[in-house]
């Protein structure tokens, strides 16, 4: 785990904004309210697992809001599975409001507004969060919605297995290769599927074909390599030792768009997120486009306008001035 934030390193007056920035970068953008700013204390550590991330956090009393405006500005289309380790924490999403206690899991969706809070006055809230692209979860989104903001047991059964796995990753200083990280990612996703399927009254996760598993690995590979200018169907197929024809067949069976369209859409999603990020306001549009694999500025501008209805510069101005 890499420590990316510790409030004791900052002056009191800077902590709230710094916490908002680091949680927006490590997780998703939210609006933060601190009831008692002078005594606010927090720490955050993160570990990358391919397209997924493990984030360990501790914090004093706070409120966090994921608003419709923030979703319009930036939505990575991720699920978050959180295990609460200490403290009393509140969550409201999809017209469901609950208190989540130590020893419970809760799942929420980056594409829907939510309100989260740490309510304890005496004990720091501590949690470990697994965040991953929705596309990696082989369960229908409509069914997952039933479990949003619903406390799930983390101390018994399959929930205990997932909890122990996430906490071990968060606590142990494990040196792992890129290939190790991908294997750990698949394990984390598989355990998450098992927990969610169990609570959807399934005896086990829905059977997943080898082709579907390959499809999920391909999505993960694409997400990790969006920065590569040479990321095309041939490169993706070669990395998975399959033909381009079979790659297209897999996407026709499992995805709503073709391979190239998916790559293009994910790159544009990341560009929109970065253009709307105040912390990157001094980064040029060309640099942001290049960061996500767009090497020709004119082509990027054309694609961006077609997707959003406005130019990258107009989109950035609107997002940063709150006019989106």
The answer as to whether 299 is a domain residue is yes
pLDDT for residue 289: 95
Q: In what order do the strands lie in the sheet with 104-109?
A: 2-6, 42-49, 52-59, 125-133, 78-86, 104-109, 152-153
Q: What number is the average pLDDT over the span 53-72?
A: 93
Residue finishing a domain among 165, 199, 233 = 199
Residues 193 and 297 occupy one common structural domain: no
Given a cut of 80, whether residue 174 has pLDDT beyond it is no
pLDDT for residue 324: 53
Residues 235 and 148 occupy one common structural domain: no
152-168: pLDDT as tens digits: 999 888 899 999 999 99
Report DSSP state, residue 231. Answer: -
The domain that contains 289 carries what CATH number? 1.10.10.60
Residues 133 and 254 occupy one common structural domain: no
Do residues 76 and 27 touch, judged by C-beta distance below 8 A?
no
The span from the CA of 306 to the CA of 152, in Å, is 42
The span from the CA of 111 to the CA of 71, in Å, is 6
Share of the chain above pLDDT 70, in %: 95
Q: What number is the average pLDDT over the span 222-227?
A: 88
Given a cut of 60, whether residue 201 has pLDDT beyond it is yes
Of the pLDDT bands very low, low, confident and very high (cuts 50, 70, 90), residue 323 is low
Report DSSP state, residue 20. Answer: H
pLDDT for residue 208: 54
The answer as to whether 204 is a domain residue is no
The answer as to whether 134 is a domain residue is yes
Residue finishing a domain among 170, 199, 228 = 199
The span from the CA of 167 to the CA of 190, in Å, is 16
The answer as to whether 205 is a domain residue is no
Question: 135 is written with which tokens?
Answer: 């596309």
Instruction: Identify the residue with better confidence: 282 or 120.
Output: 282
The domain that contains 37 carries what CATH number? 2.60.120.10
Total number of domains in the chain? 2
Please give the mean pLDDT across all residues of the chain: 88
Residue finishing a domain among 147, 171, 199 = 199
Given a cut of 50, whether residue 5 has pLDDT beyond it is yes
Residues 229 and 93 occupy one common structural domain: no
228-253: pLDDT as tens digits: 999 999 999 999 999 999 999 999 88
Which range of residues forms the domain containing residue 35? 2-199
pLDDT for residue 104: 95
Q: What is the pTM of this model?
A: 0.66
Residues 179 and 214 occupy one common structural domain: no
What is the helix (H) or strand (E) element at residue 93, kind and residue range?
A: strand 89-93
Residues 59 and 189 occupy one common structural domain: yes
Residues 29 and 157 occupy one common structural domain: yes
pLDDT for residue 248: 94
Residues 144 and 36 occupy one common structural domain: yes
Given a cut of 70, whether residue 202 has pLDDT beyond it is no
The answer as to whether 55 is a domain residue is yes
Given a cut of 90, whether residue 173 has pLDDT beyond it is no
Residues 234 and 85 occupy one common structural domain: no
The answer as to whether 182 is a domain residue is yes
Residues 263 and 179 occupy one common structural domain: no
Share of the chain above pLDDT 90, in %: 52
Residues 173 and 227 occupy one common structural domain: no
Residues 229 and 85 occupy one common structural domain: no
The dihedrals phi and psi of 207, each to the nearest 5 degrees, come to -55, 135
Given a cut of 70, whether residue 321 has pLDDT beyond it is yes
Nearest to 253 by CA among 207, 221, 216: 216
pLDDT for residue 51: 85
The answer as to whether 119 is a domain residue is yes
């Amino acid at each position: 785990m890499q420590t990316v934030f510790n409030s004791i390193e900052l002056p009191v007056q800077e902590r709230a904004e710094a916490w908002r920035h680091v949680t927006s970068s490590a997780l998703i953008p939210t609006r933060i309210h601190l009831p008692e700013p002078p005594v606010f204390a927090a720490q955050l550590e993160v570990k990358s697992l391919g397209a997924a991330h493990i984030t360990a956090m501790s914090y004093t009393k706070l409120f966090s809001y994921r608003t419709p405006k923030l979703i319009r500005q930036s939505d990575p289309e991720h699920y978050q599975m959180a295990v609460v380790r200490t403290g009393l924490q509140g969550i409201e999403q999809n017209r469901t409001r609950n208190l989540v206690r130590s020893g419970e899991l809760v799942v929420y969706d980056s594409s829907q507004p939510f309100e989260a809070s740490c309510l304890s006055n005496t004990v720091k809230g501590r949690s470990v969060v697994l965040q991953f692209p929705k596309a990696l979860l082989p369960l229908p989104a409509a069914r997952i919605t039933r479990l949003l903001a619903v406390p799930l047991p983390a101390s018994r059964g399959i929930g205990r297995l997932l909890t122990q796995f996430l906490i071990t990753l968060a606590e142990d200083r494990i040196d792992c290769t890129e290939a190790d990280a991908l294997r750990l990612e698949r394990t984390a996703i598989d355990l998450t599927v098992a927990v969610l399927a169990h609570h959807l009254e399934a005896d086990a996760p829905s059977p997943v074909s080898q082709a579907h598993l390959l499809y999920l690995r391909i999505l993960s590979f694409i997400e990790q390599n969006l920065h590569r200018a040479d990321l095309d169907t041939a490169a993706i197929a070669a990395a998975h030792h399959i033909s381009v024809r079979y790659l297209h067949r897999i996407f026709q069976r499992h995805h709503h768009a073709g391979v190239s369209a998916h790559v293009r859409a994910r790159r544009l999603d990341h560009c929109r997120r970065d253009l709307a990020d105040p912390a990157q306001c001094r980064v040029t549009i060309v640099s942001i486009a290049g960061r996500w694999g767009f090497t020709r500025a004119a082509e990027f501008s054309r694609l961006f306008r077609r997707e959003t209805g406005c130019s990258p510069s107009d989109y950035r101005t609107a997002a940063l001035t709150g006019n989106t």
